[in-house]
């Protein structure tokens, strides 16, 4: 809002300031550069710039494009608003790009934007879902399901700060994270524009099906699905992303009542609203079958920036045609661009459009890895500990004769981190790239934790001859799911995948066993529970496997609580607290506790 003393003589002030400021002569016109002056009020800077933009330049600012589809020359020619590194798109195809490579890539793109007619900097975006997860050797934190088990909001806030610093260290000022826990968007070299997602009701779809229909009345929508946005907007979150789902049959990307009237009007959200990946295209089925009408509906509904148009010229031509035919009001275009420019001014992009290497030493630094390790140990949920309270198996003794460590996930950083790591779907390999593994596997963590005299035998898959020897003090079996993201993880059976299930059953049949499950959701375990002596849900812990050993061996106690109900059979799903026939294997909030060794 413009201060009261500036409201009445606004145009006079603009003319006065313009007469004192420099102008730039181009082949086409004289450009008033007042918008580049950081001493001017932001609203004046926005107005001066907006008044000089052509319709095509305004519409181009409303586009966010996959970085693989453009060059620096494209940015110069069209003055595109934003780029995104999507699905693991990095400076190099082998995914081992250094932080310096990222900085150089961003600066090359940015120089293209700065050489456009008005020199409007582009806004570069990335998915920092559980750390700067596209960056090799970044700190990878537990996924959100694990963080929910910690019941520690301050810990989550510290993780957000660390992720911000590592993201910004590569020059990236805009992150699609977190899932509805926005933080203020404040200008500065160590801050990023946050994105509250996904608007709204994406967690309440019918039978939990992704991108489906959320059927709920207005009161339920506000009381169950909207509260996170209230807090995010109060904190000053920069952007809100709209989801693919529908509310009572109406596509969210076209819901003007929720986007414009409620989010921007009632909640007074001042940032910009962005579509999800191809979200506008997917308003129709088959996808993109009526892209022109989808753009018309979405922009009029209040979408300010469209993520990944099929190509920039098609996007420009369609939206320009809609404006010239008065199907999209010019006021709607100006509102969208004003919101986008406000975010760029707030981030300081006009003053500092290029980045440098000054923060690269923060990437993967020990303080961040210590924080991730703390998050891992607080996220572990102990589901079973011996046959009863009087004979617990955990914590384990560090000094013993021989330990068997078995399972596909015991010595594999890729499986430990899950999806959204280096690539979109994650990597099912021991090394996250062809280079040296960044992080600590659970096997390595166990080796570090135990007494030097304790012998450790590792077997990725069970070995019958090894088991028949039966001279192990106990076995730690680490198994779970392969990495996946979104629909690629759909599974109607939800059983522990092979060969992990076979390894677990055979080892636990022969040896006293502790099973550590690496997973992104509860899986079927009841048929096997009686043969398991201790059971730990470790979720997707990330790079710091030492946090698992910290708790197994009693340096710290188990404190995590289930972030969701653990079902008995898949036939019970969906299952939620309060259901009439709520009969889970482990209820929401369940979690056994232990005390650290040596504590009273």
- Cis before residue 178, ω within 30 degrees of 0? yes
- Determine the angle formed by the axes of helices 10-20 and 42-52, rounding to 10 degrees: 80
CA 370/CA 446 separation, integer angstroms: 17
Is 150 exposed, middle or buried, given 0-12, 13-18 or 19+ CB atoms closer than 10 A?
A: buried
What gap in Å lies between CA 67 and CA 125, rounded to an integer? 10
H/E stretch holding 42: helix 42-52
In whole angstroms, what is the distance from residue 401 CA to residue 451 CA? 10
Spatial neighbors of 212 by CB under 8 A, at least 6 apart, are 205, 206, 245, 246
Taking CB atoms within 8 Å and a gap of at least 24, the contacts of 92-97 are 94/433, 94/434, 95/136, 95/422, 95/423, 95/432, 95/433, 96/136, 96/433, 96/434, 96/435, 97/135, 97/136
C-alpha Rg value of the chain to the nearest Å? 27
**Which residues are the active-site residues?**
276, 486
Whole-number Å distance between alpha carbons of 600 and 589: 25
* Helix locations, 329-460, DSSP H: 330-346, 366-379, 413-417, 442-449
Decide if 599 contacts 391 (C-beta within 8 A): no
Report how far Cα 448 is from the mean position of its chain's Cα atoms.
31
Both structure tokens of 108: 């090359």
Strand order, beta sheet including 195-199: 195-199, 239-242, 272-274
Structure tokens that stand for 143 in this block: 């996924």
Query: 418: which residues sit within 8 A by CB, 6+ positions away?
Result: 143, 426, 481, 483, 484, 518, 520, 540
Concatenated DSSP letters for 3-41? Answer: -HHHHTTHHHHHHHHHHHS-EEE-SS-EEEGGGG-TTS-
């Amino acid at each position: 809002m413009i201060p009261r003393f500036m409201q009445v003589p606004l145009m006079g002030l603009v003319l006065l300031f313009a007469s004192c400021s420099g102008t730039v002569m181009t082949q086409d016109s004289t450009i008033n550069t007042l918008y580049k002056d950081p001493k001017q009020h932001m609203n004046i800077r926005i107005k001066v710039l907006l008044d000089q933009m052509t319709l095509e330049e305004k519409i181009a600012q409303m586009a966010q494009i996959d970085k693989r589809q453009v060059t620096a020359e494209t940015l110069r020619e069209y003055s595109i608003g934003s780029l995104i590194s999507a699905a693991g798109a990095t400076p190099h195809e082998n995914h081992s790009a250094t932080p310096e490579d990222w900085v150089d890539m961003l600066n090359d793109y940015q120089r293209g934007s700065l050489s456009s007619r008005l020199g409007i900097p582009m806004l570069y975006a990335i998915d920092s879902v559980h750390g700067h997860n596209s960056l090799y050797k970044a700190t990878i934190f537990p996924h959100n399901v694990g963080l929910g088990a910690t019941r520690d909001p301050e810990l989550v806030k510290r993780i957000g700060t660390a992720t911000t610093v590592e993201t910004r260290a590569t020059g990236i000022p805009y992150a699609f994270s977190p899932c509805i826990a926005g933080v203020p968007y404040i200008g500065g070299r160590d801050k990023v524009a946050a994105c509250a997602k996904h608007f709204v009701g994406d967690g309440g779809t019918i039978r939990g099906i992704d991108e489906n229909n959320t059927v709920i009345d207005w009161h339920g929508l506000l009381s169950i699905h909207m509260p996170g946005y209230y807090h995010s907007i109060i904190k000053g979150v920069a952007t809100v992303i709209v989801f693919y789902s529908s509310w009572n049959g109406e596509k969210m990307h076209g819901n003007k009542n929720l986007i414009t009237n409620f989010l921007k009007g009632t909640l007074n959200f001042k940032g910009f609203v962005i579509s999800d990946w191809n979200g506008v295209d997917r308003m129709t089925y088959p996808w993109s079958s009526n892209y022109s009408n989808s753009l018309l509906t979405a922009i009029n509904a209040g979408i300010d920036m469209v993520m990944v148009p099929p190509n920039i010229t098609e996007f420009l031509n369609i939206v320009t045609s809609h404006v010239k035919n008065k199907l999209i009001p010019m006021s709607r275009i100006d509102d969208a661009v004003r919101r986008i420019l406000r975010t760029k001014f707030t981030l300081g992009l006009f003053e500092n459009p290029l980045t440098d290497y000054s923060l690269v030493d923060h990437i993967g630094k020990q303080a961040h890895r210590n924080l991730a390790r703390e998050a891992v140990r607080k996220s572990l949920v102990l589901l079973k500990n011996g046959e009863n309270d009087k004979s617990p198996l955990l914590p384990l003794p560090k000094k013993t004769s021989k330990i068997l460590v078995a399972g596909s996930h015991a010595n594999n950083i890729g499986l430990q981190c899950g999806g959204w790591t280096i690539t979109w779907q994650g990597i099912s390999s021991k090394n996250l790239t062809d280079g040296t593994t960044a992080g600590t596997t659970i096997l390595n963590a166990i080796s570090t934790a135990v007494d030097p005299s304790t012998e450790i035998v590792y077997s990725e898959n069970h070995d019958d001859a090894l088991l028949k020897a039966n001279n192990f003090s106990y076995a730690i079996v680490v198994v779970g799911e392969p990495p996946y993201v979104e629909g690629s993880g759909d599974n109607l059976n939800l059983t522990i995948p092979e060969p992990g299930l076979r390894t677990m059953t055979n080892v636990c049949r022969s040896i006293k066993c502790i099973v550590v499950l690496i997973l992104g959701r509860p899986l079927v375990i009841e048929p096997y529970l009686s043969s398991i002596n201790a059971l730990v849900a470790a979720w997707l812990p990330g790079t710091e496997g030492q946090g698992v050993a910290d708790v197994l061996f009693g340096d710290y106690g188990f404190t995590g609580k289930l972030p969701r109900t653990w079902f008995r059979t898949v036939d019970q799903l969906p299952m939620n607290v309060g259901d009439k026939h709520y009969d889970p294997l482990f209820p929401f909030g369940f979690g056994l506790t232990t005390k650290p060794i040596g504590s009273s």
